[in-house]
């Protein structure tokens, strides 16, 4: 594991490392490995969802519109040929806190993780993922301390 993650809480380190590796794989045109899907799905989902939300907020400082969501969805699907638009939309809705629970089963965690990484990669627009993972974990930690 990369020593650059030593500043993170121990449970978050393998998720951060697997996320960074998966983003690199997608950028190189490879399929992300299953390492991310093998992590705790609740923690992984929280971290990746927070990264997506932070990136959406950063890219849309005046607020997010339906057109911004459509643009993110379309851009992710164009940039990663394996993307399922329904999965990307599910991730966007979840990251924005507007996911409607309709009783249908949630997608498989490994499928969600791969799609989340593709969405994150698209939203990063070539920027490094590491600062965004650190920011997400800082925000999660702060929220947990205030709950």
Whether residue 79 is contained in a domain is answered as yes
Would you state the pLDDT for residue 33? 77
Rounded CA-CA distance 51/119 in Å is 10
pLDDT at residue 86, rounded to an integer? 93
Q: Is residue 1 part of a domain?
A: no
Provide the pLDDT for residue 1.
46
Residue 38 counted as domain residue:
no
Kindly report, residue by residue over 95-118, the tens digit of the pLDDT.
Answer: 888 877 777 788 888 899 999 999
Residue 103 backbone zone (phi > 0: left; psi -120 to 50: alpha; other: beta) = left
**Domain assignment of residue 27, yes or no:** no
Model pLDDT for residues 9-63, shown as the tens digit of each residue: 778 889 999 999 999 999 999 888 778 888 888 899 999 999 999 999 999 999 9
Residue-level pLDDT at 15: 92
Residue 92 predicted with pLDDT over 80: yes
pLDDT (tens digit per residue) in 70-81? 999 999 999 998
């849309």: which residue's tokens? 60
Rounded CA-CA distance 146/58 in Å is 23
CB under 8 Å to 87, separation ≥6 — which residues?
107, 111, 112, 115
* pLDDT value, residue 3: 53
In a domain, 86, yes or no: yes
9 assigned to some structural domain: no
Domain residues for the domain of 73 are 43-99+107-147
Contact 70, 45 (CB under 8 A): no
Please give the tally of structural domains in the chain.
1
The predicted model gives 123-145 an average pLDDT of 91
């Amino acid at each position: 594991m990369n020593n650059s993650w030593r500043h993170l809480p121990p449970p978050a380190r393998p998720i951060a490392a697997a996320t960074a590796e998966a983003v690199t794989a997608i950028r190189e045109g490879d399929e992300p490995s299953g390492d991310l899907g093998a992590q705790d799905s609740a923690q992984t989902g929280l971290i990746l969802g927070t990264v997506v939300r932070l990136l959406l907020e950063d890219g849309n400082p005046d607020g997010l519109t339906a057109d911004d969501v459509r643009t993110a969805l379309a851009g992710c699907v164009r940039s990663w040929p394996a993307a399922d638009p329904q999965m990307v939309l599910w991730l966007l809705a979840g990251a924005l806190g507007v996911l409607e629970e309709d009783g249908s089963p949630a997608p498989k965690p490994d499928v969600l993780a791969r799609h989340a990484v593709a969405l994150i990669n698209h939203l990063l627009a070539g920027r490094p993922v590491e600062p965004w993972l650190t920011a997400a974990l800082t925000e999660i930690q702060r929220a947990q301390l205030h709950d």
